[in-house]
Amino acid sequence: MSLAKIVETIKENQNFLLTAHINPDGDAIGAETALALALKQMGKNVVIVNKDETPEDYKFLPGSSEIKSPADIDCPNKEQDVLIVLDCGLFDRVGFLTPADFKLVINIDHHATNNAFGQLNYYRPEASSTSELVFELINELPVEITAPIATCIYTGLLTDTGSFHYDNTNVRSFEIAAQLLRYGAHPADIARSIYENTSFNRIRLMGEGLNTIEVFNGGTIGSLLITQDMLKRNQAKPYDTEDFVNFPRSIKGVFVAVFWRELDKDFYKISLRSKVNVDVAKVASKFGGGGHFHAAGAHLRGELSELKQKVVQEVSRALQELEKQGA
Residues near Mn ion (CB under 5 A): 27, 87, 129-130, 160
Residue closer to Mn ion, measured from CB, 129 or 241: 129
Residue closer to Mn ion, measured from CB, 81 or 160: 160
CB of 113 to Mn ion, least distance (A): 12
CB of 203 to Mn ion, least distance (A): 25
CB of 159 to Mn ion, least distance (A): 8
97 with 118: CB under 8 angstroms?
no
Residue closer to Mn ion, measured from CB, 93 or 202: 93
- Beta strand residue intervals within the chain, DSSP E: 15-19, 45-48, 82-86, 104-109, 120-123, 214-216, 221-226, 256-264, 267-274, 290-291, 295-301
- Which residues, 6+ apart, have CB-to-CB distance to 214 below 8 Å? 222, 223
The backbone torsions φ and ψ at residue 241, rounded to the nearest 5 degrees and listed phi first, read -90, 0
The backbone torsions φ and ψ at residue 108, rounded to the nearest 5 degrees and listed phi first, read -120, 120
122 with 6: CB under 8 angstroms?
yes
CB of 25 to Mn ion, least distance (A): 7
Look up residue 59 and give its amino acid.
K
- Helices 26-41/130-139 angle, 10° precision: 10
CB of 109 to Mn ion, least distance (A): 8
CB of 210 to Mn ion, least distance (A): 26
Residue closer to Mn ion, measured from CB, 166 or 174: 166
64 with 58: CB under 8 angstroms?
yes
CB of 192 to Mn ion, least distance (A): 22
Residue closer to Mn ion, measured from CB, 129 or 193: 129
67 with 32: CB under 8 angstroms?
yes
Burial zone of 285 (CB within 10 Å; 0-12 exposed, 13-18 middle, 19+ buried): middle
- Which residues, 6+ apart, have CB-to-CB distance to 12 below 8 Å? none
Residue closer to Mn ion, measured from CB, 31 or 49: 31
Nearest to 24 by CA among 47, 48, 54: 54
CB of 86 to Mn ion, least distance (A): 8
Residue closer to Mn ion, measured from CB, 31 or 120: 31
User: Nearest residue by C-beta to Mn ion?
Assistant: 27
Angstrom distances, CA of residue 102 to CA of 15, 78, 123, 297? 11, 5, 20, 28
Separation CA 174–CA 226 (nearest Å): 34
Residue closer to Mn ion, measured from CB, 54 or 129: 129
